[in-house]
Amino acid sequence: MLTEESRYKLKYTYAEDFGTGYFKYGPITLGDKPRIVPSRGLILRDLPESVKLLIPKPILERGVVVGDEVSKYLSSMREAARNLKQPLKDGIIRREDEDAWKIVKELVRYGFQQFYPEAASQPDFKGYYVVIALSALAPDYMREKMIDIHREVDEEFDGKLIAAVTIIDQPFAVAIAEKAVTCCVVEAGHGNIQIVPISYGPIREGIVALNRGGAEANAITREILKDAGYGDLAKDEYVVETVKRAIGLVPRNLKEAIRKAKEDPKRFSVKVKVNPLVEIELVEHAWMRFLIGEIIFNPRHEEFASYIQTGRITIEDVVLGDVVFYGEMDLAEALITSVRKTPVEIQEKIISSIILSGGAFNWNVPPGLEDVATTSTEKIKIMIAEKVPDLAERLNVRLVKDPQYSVWRGAVIYGYALPSSVKWSEKYKEGWYTWK
């Protein structure tokens, strides 16, 4: 039998997943899929007076546009494109980056504005229980700032919007969504890959971060389009993203896949119709399809060297605070490194249950190419077995049902299950925080 609190949370739990590439948000009543918009904002500065007259006063005063409105303003203000910004880099926002925080606040407001009017019309509504999903590597100041932003937005709604907020690590949210107690979550988003061993909670000593993700797959796709004679289309991010998803392949073995593709180009050729007016075709360059998927798993191959050495793509180690984001470390090595940092007695349990999540793992195998192309789960098995053959028969690698939405779904479940009596702990950074 449901308690009064459980009945309330079944209607008014609300989750936000702050990804580097996309912001996913919405209440529990949406079911399995949240609403999603690009994690970006257009800062409205240095505008001529004639343009200011066209912008609604509330938007002009806040000085930033997000969501569906961005493309509308970009189309009428081409010179403003330089002020288009993604607030998160590798899942992190720098403390002093005022523009980034302004965009995040507008994204939060943008989401709530879509759901609050209906909720507020209900007689039982007393505010949302909000779960904020952040990178496992997010520093404490970022968590504190996120709470401050939600307090400020709540004040704009006369204190009636939010009942309480809490914060959860994105990989832990994935484990909750998958009902996994002891496992290793590999969350691959647009900006980075987080490898987080979990045993009833994240084992922070074992976290390994890689400085690559969907953005690098986009970057190599862009260069492939240029090499294939589509330099004009390579400038369009929408085209690049569409082509990447349509043609990208994960090779079982990169050298073998390239050899076969060069021997029989027609077998691997592909056409992509971006829209009725735009179509691309790869025949002689079709072997490059394997580079798109492989760059996520292992960018150390010589096929990537020319792109990196000439600066056409950038893959390098980055230090943010006290965290190193490794650029070229291959995914199997990163997984093994992560698990070795956990207590020995649970290492076998952790590595025997690997959960993949995030859009950067969402690749298909076209019919007829099964001998050379594979899925993300099989790729991980192949790579780990090559390094540690004894693990080959013990590996259980699985991809979540909806890689792009699993964090949001786990965050919603967490918010529903976490009792409101559990108050925020500054030491553990968990529990419900309220300013009422």
| pLDDT higher than 70, residue 77 | no
On the question of pLDDT at 8 being above 90, the answer is: yes
Q: Look at residue 367 and tell me if it is in a domain.
A: yes
Please name every residue paired with 397 in a beta bridge, in sequence order, or none if there are none.
354
Q: How confident is the model at residue 47, as a pLDDT?
A: 67
Q: What is the DSSP letter of 156?
A: H
| 135 in any annotated domain | yes
Name the β-bridge partners of 319.
324
Number of domains in the chain: 2
Interacting residues of 119 by C-beta distance below 8 A, sequence separation 6+: 11, 12, 27, 125, 128
Q: 376 and 285, same structural domain? A: yes
Query: Of all residues in the chain, what percent are helix, strand and coil, respectively (each to 5)?
Result: 45, 20, 35
Q: What is the reported pLDDT for 240? A: 93
More reliable by pLDDT, 43 or 154? 154
How far does CA 430 lie from the centroid of its chain? 22
- Asked if 252 and 104 sit in the same domain, the reply is no
Strands laid side by side in the 41-43 sheet = 64-66, 41-43, 84-85
Lowest model confidence (mean pLDDT) among 27-31, 59-63, 162-166: 59-63
> What pLDDT score does 149 carry?
98
* Residue 189 pLDDT greater than 90, yes or no: no
Residue range 346-388, pLDDT digits in tens: 999 999 999 999 889 989 999 999 999 999 999 999 999 999 9
261 shares its domain with 375: yes
Q: Where residue 20 falls among pLDDT bands split at 50, 70, 90?
A: confident
Mean pLDDT of 274-303: 93
pLDDT at 194 (0 to 100): 92
pLDDT tens column, 107-141: 999 999 999 999 999 999 999 999 999 998 888 99
Percent of the chain with pLDDT strictly greater than 70: 97
15 vs 28: CA distance, rounded Å? 8
Structural domain for 9, as ranges = 4-40+86-177+405-417
- Separation CA 362–CA 217 (nearest Å): 12
Q: Which of 31-35, 217-221, 234-238, 341-345 has the lowest mean pLDDT?
A: 234-238
Q: Any idea what the CATH number is for the domain that residue 105 is in? A: 3.30.420.40
d(CA 214, CA 192): 8
Residues 409 and 392 reside in one and the same domain = no
> What pLDDT score does 81 carry?
59
Q: Which pLDDT score is estimated for 295?
A: 95
335 in a domain, yes or no?
yes
Mean pLDDT on 5-26: 95
Is 425 contained in some domain?
A: no
Asked if residue 388 and residue 249 are part of one domain, the reply reads yes
Kindly state whether residues 141 and 10 are assigned to the same domain. Answer: yes
pLDDT band for position 238 (cuts 50, 70, 90): confident
Q: Could you tell me the pTM of the whole model?
A: 0.88
Between residues 426 and 373, the one the model is more confident about? 373
Q: Do residue 173 and residue 233 come from a single domain? A: no
Question: Is the pLDDT score of 76 beyond 60?
Answer: no
296 with 148, same domain? no
Of 391, 361, 25, 429, nearest to 185 by C-alpha is: 361
- Letter string b/e over residues 160-199, b meaning 16 or more CB atoms within 10 A of that residue's CB: ebbbbbbbbbbbbbbbbbbebebbbbbbbbbbbbbbbbbb
Q: pLDDT at residue 158 above 80?
A: yes
Same-domain status, 155 and 230: no
Question: How much is the pLDDT for 392?
Answer: 81
- Which band of pLDDT confidence, cut at 50, 70 and 90, is reported for residue 48? low
Q: Is the pLDDT of residue 45 over 90?
A: no
CATH number for the domain that contains residue 280: 3.30.420.570
Residues 160 and 216 in one domain: no
Answer yes or no: do 10 and 156 share one domain.
yes
* Inside any domain, residue 93: yes
What is residue 436's predicted lDDT score, i.e. its pLDDT? 79
Same domain, 111 and 225: no
Q: Is residue 291 part of a domain?
A: yes
| 194, part of any domain | no
